[in-house]
């Protein structure tokens, strides 16, 4: 049997997600939530005072290049393989009425 607080949380999340849960589903999710919370409790027992906060587990650095203007392909070459075109534009099917 799940506690009243867990039931309230599950009902609240279901409401936010617009989910209609049966009592059996609420019981199952309550048991899963209890397991997750117990695991988080175990993680909270770890001493992380000497570990600096990180956003990635490995060092990541952006690789940037110079922004140099270069010649592009011509309109004709860009449109040469277009399945359908109108003048200098790609023609695509209308999707919004």
In order along its 97 residues, the chain shows pLDDT tens digits of 667 888 888 999 999 999 999 999 999 998 998 899 899 999 999 998 888 888 778 888 888 989 999 999 998 898 998 889 888 898 888 888 7
Domains of the chain: 4-44 (1.10.20)
CB-based contacts of 11: which residues, under 8 Å, 6+ apart?
Answer: 26
pTM of the predicted structure, to 2 decimals: 0.46
Helix (H, G, I), strand (E, B) or coil at 85: strand
CB-based contacts of 20: which residues, under 8 Å, 6+ apart?
Answer: 14
> Do 29 and 21 meet the contact criterion of CB atoms below 8 Å apart?
yes
């Amino acid at each position: 049997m799940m506690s009243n607080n867990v039931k309230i949380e599950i009902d609240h999340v279901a409401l936010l997600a617009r989910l209609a849960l049966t009592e059996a589903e609420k019981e199952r999710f309550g048991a899963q939530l209890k397991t997750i919370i117990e695991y988080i409790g175990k993680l909270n027992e770890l001493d992380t005072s000497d570990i600096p906060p990180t956003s990635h587990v490995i060092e990541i650095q952006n690789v940037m290049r110079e922004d140099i203007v270069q010649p592009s392909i011509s309109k004709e070459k860009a449109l040469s393989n277009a399945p359908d075109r109108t003048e200098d534009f790609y023609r695509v099917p209308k999707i919004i009425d």
